[in-house]
Amino acid sequence: MTAFTPVLPERTAGYLRAGLHQVKGWLNVSTAVYLSGVEAAQRGAGVSGDVAEIGIHHGKSFLCLALDLPADQRAVAIDVFDDQTANLDQSGRGDRDIFEQNLATYGAGDNVDIVQSSSLDLEQAGFVAAGRRFRIFSIDGGHTDQITVNDLRIAERTVVDHGLVVLDDVLNRHWLGVITGLFSYLGDGGSLVPAVLVPNKLILATSADQAKHCRAMFAEQFPDGLEKADVPLAGHQIDVYGDRPWLVRGEDGRSEPVTGHELMATITAARLGELEQQLRSARAELDTTRRQLDATRQQLRTAAQPLYRRAARRLPWLVRPVRPVLRRVRAVVRRPR
């Protein structure tokens, strides 16, 4: 089923349609749509605050949050970049030069602040106390449980009331530190509330009320994406949104596939046609084999009857003990398909 995004600002729509597949990184295509759509919807609703991401690599997901921002809002990119010794679990590898090139290519830049630091050092460096407040805080840096707890706490303390926190790789079986960290954080009284799961990322709100608000916003913005509502998670109810072949609606009135999904849709259609053809041939072959089997059964019955009668007449002592067996054989031969 084709799915339509909400109407997205020009640069954001352009990035999804033509840029996403050019930027290296780890981001599900539908999740790029959800991030961009949430950023635009939040902005449209007048939520003020900056946006931030810990864990940039080349900026693939950061660009979903940082394009078309109003002049009074900033996008903050936090990564260890050149200091890869601080990348404790080797999750990705931030490259500041490539990131800055991508910012320029896709039209972000003027309102981007780059913070080269491990997220473990942010608090000490005064990041939290500085009073900077965010409406979206994306966490995709180190994936150990300790770093996940640290990053969730920083997000909790810097996000505005209507803000959202996005936690990456929450169900990635190769990075189980993230889910371990999430449960530690929630178990230790963390105040963020899980609201929506999109492919590979969990979105948390600042309170139970805000989680409801977030779920309602998703239902309004992405009605085609909902897979399952009211899924229990750690004492909360969340809605689960899935992967779709999205058509990106832009302010220019056009609806065009998000990069990657165009290819997926084509491959899927071609493969589907191929499979349908194979299914038709297999069915025809099965019909022929069934008809041959019916004919063979009939021939067997015809051939066996005189033989059996003759044997019964001439050698009754021989036939009597095998009669039950013959009855069974006949029953099998006559059994309808």
Ligand X SMILES: C[S@@+](CC[C@H](N)C(=O)[O-])C[C@H]1O[C@@H](n2cnc3c(N)ncnc32)[C@H](O)[C@@H]1O
Instruction: Measure the CA–CA gap between 15 and 61, rounded to whole angstroms.
Output: 11
Phi (first) and psi of residue 196, to 5 degrees: -145, 140
Instruction: Measure the CA–CA gap between 127 and 130, rounded to whole angstroms.
Output: 5
Instruction: Measure the CA–CA gap between 178 and 133, rounded to whole angstroms.
Output: 24
Give the residue, chosen from 16, 20, 33, 80, that forms a contact with ligand X under the rule CB under 6 A: 80
The interface with ligand X within residues 1-60 (CB under 6 A) comprises 25-27, 54-57, 60
Instruction: Measure the CA–CA gap between 262 and 234, rounded to whole angstroms.
Output: 36
Of 17, 21, 15, nearest to 256 (Cα)?
A: 17
Instruction: Measure the CA–CA gap between 114 and 131, rounded to whole angstroms.
Output: 17
Contact 73, 124 (CB under 8 A): no
147 to 176: interface string for ligand X, x by CB under 6 A: x-----------------------------
Closest distance of CB 127 from ligand X, Å: 12
Closest distance of CB 220 from ligand X, Å: 26
Q: Does residue 142 touch ligand X according to CB under 6 A?
A: yes
Alpha helices in 201-260 (DSSP H): 208-221
Give the residue, chosen from 19, 49, 92, 199, that forms a contact with ligand X under the rule CB under 6 A: 92
Closest distance of CB 21 from ligand X, Å: 12
C-beta closer to ligand X: residue 119 or 221? 119
Give the residue, chosen from 94, 194, 225, 245, that forms a contact with ligand X under the rule CB under 6 A: 94
Binding footprint of ligand X on the chain (CB under 6 A): 25-27, 54-57, 60-61, 78-80, 86-87, 91-94, 118-120, 140-142, 147
